[in-house]
């Protein structure tokens, strides 16, 4: 009961702020929280990145190993993306196999990487039909402070950019980098009181009816989109989010030149 009351009060508070064009942490509607990316944090992984986005902390580890290609695509490598919303990260998360929330995050991140063709999958082929590189992207959410998906997406790309293919370990020639061609960036907005807010904090996320994630590439093209949540969006809102996402993604992408 009292939880409901608190939620109601919180909602009203944030709603009134939004009406005044403000957010609880003082950000502009199209402003991201500070994002820090630290790569190569896990030596045991072939690539890794710890992303902090406000209070959100996501650790992404890349493991690569030779394996069999899928029968219908014998000449390209395999990407397997997995997200774990471990109970450490939030009182709401429970142990057990990934549920729809974790599966959605993994699949949206996966498609963003795959569909942008940011990895040259053909170059991951070792012997056609027999052996290709399998790339496991494991997303480990340590602390949920809202907008896990953008942090997970950024972490995955950062980890991929610094990951190696350990060919020598398997007598497959010299080690090399994963062949990357683009830097797709996910940017998520929530709709609340008719307004669109980028990079929602946990509080904002919990009161918003719906969110839209847009993944854009270096050339400004869109390579992924996912609406999530139980409220509708208008066509105009969608178009505005796409515009905001492109601008914000360009800003975030700069960080990767530093990585």
Partner 1 sequence: MNDKPEHFIIDGKRLDGRNLDELRPIKIEMSPLDRADGSCYLEWGNNKIMAAVYGPRELHPRHRQNMTRSVVQYRYNMASFSVDERIRPGPSRRSVEISKVSREAFEPVVFTKFFPRTAIDVFIEVLQADAGTRTAGINAASLALADAGIPMRGLVSACAVGKVDGRIVLDLMKEEDNYGEADMPVAMIAGGRITLLQMDGRLTTEEFYEALKLAKTGCDKVYELQRQALLEKYGGEHPVDAEDVSLEGDTDEQ
Structure tokens at 165: 């293919």
Which span sits near partner 1 by CB under 8 A: 8-16, 101-109, 170-178, 247-255?
101-109
- Cβ neighbours of residue 138 closer than 8 Å, sequence gap 6 or more: 60, 61, 62, 63, 82, 83, 84
Residue 228 binds partner 1 (CB under 8 A): yes
Sign, Cα dihedral of 111, 49, 175, 218: positive
CB of 210 to partner 1, least distance (A): 8
Q: What are the two backbone dihedrals, phi and then psi, of residue 75, each rounded to the nearest 5 degrees? A: -115, 15
Sign, Cα dihedral of 234, 236, 242, 248: negative
Residues 128-157 that bind partner 1 (CB under 8 A): 136, 138, 140, 142-145
Residue 63 binds partner 1 (CB under 8 A): yes
Which position among 2, 34, 44, 194 is part of the footprint of partner 1 (CB under 8 A)?
44
- Cβ neighbours of residue 35 closer than 8 Å, sequence gap 6 or more: 51, 52, 53, 151, 154, 252, 255
> By CB neighbour count within 10 A (0-12 exposed, 13-18 middle, 19+ buried), where does 171 fall?
exposed
Which span sits near partner 1 by CB under 8 A: 11-19, 22-30, 61-69, 122-130?
61-69
CB of 28 to partner 1, least distance (A): 22
Residue 27 binds partner 1 (CB under 8 A): no
User: Is residue 104 classed as helix, strand or coil in its secondary structure?
Assistant: helix
CB of 188 to partner 1, least distance (A): 13
Which span sits near partner 1 by CB under 8 A: 6-14, 21-29, 82-90, 172-180?
82-90
Q: Which residues bind partner 1 (CB under 8 A)?
A: 41-45, 48, 55, 57, 59, 61-63, 65, 72, 82, 84, 86-91, 95, 97-100, 103-104, 106-107, 111, 115-117, 136, 138, 140, 142-145, 210, 212, 217, 220-235, 238-239, 242-243, 246
């Amino acid at each position: 009961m009292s939880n409901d009351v608190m939620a109601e009060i919180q909602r009203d508070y944030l709603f009134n702020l939004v009406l005044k064009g403000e957010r609880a942490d003082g950000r502009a509607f199209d402003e991201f929280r500070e994002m820090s990316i630290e790569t190569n944090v896990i030596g045991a992984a072939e690539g890794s990145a710890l992303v902090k986005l406000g209070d959100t902390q996501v650790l992404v580890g890349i493991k690569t190993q030779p394996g069999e290609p899928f029968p219908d695509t014998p000449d390209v490598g395999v990407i397997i993306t997995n997200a774990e919303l471990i109970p450490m990260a939030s009182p709401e998360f429970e142990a057990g196999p990934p549920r729809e929330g974790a599966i959605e995050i993994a699949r949206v991140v996966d498609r963003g990487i795959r569909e942008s063709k940011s990895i040259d999958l053909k170059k991951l082929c070792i012997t056609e039909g027999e052996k290709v590189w399998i790339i496991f992207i494991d997303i480990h959410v340590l602390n949920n402070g809202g907008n896990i998906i953008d942090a997970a997406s950024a972490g995955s790309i950062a980890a991929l950019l610094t990951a190696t293919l350990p060919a020598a370990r398997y007598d497959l020639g010299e080690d090399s980098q994963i062949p990357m061609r683009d830097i797709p960036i996910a940017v998520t907005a929530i709709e609340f009181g008719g307004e669109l807010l980028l990079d929602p904090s946990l509080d904002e996320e919990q009161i918003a009816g719906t969110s839209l994630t847009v993944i854009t590439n270096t050339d400004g093209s869109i390579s992924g989109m996912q609406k999530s949540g139980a409220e509708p969006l208008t066509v105009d809102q969608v178009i505005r989010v796409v515009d905001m996402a492109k601008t914000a993604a360009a800003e975030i992408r700069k960080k990767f030149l530093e990585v």
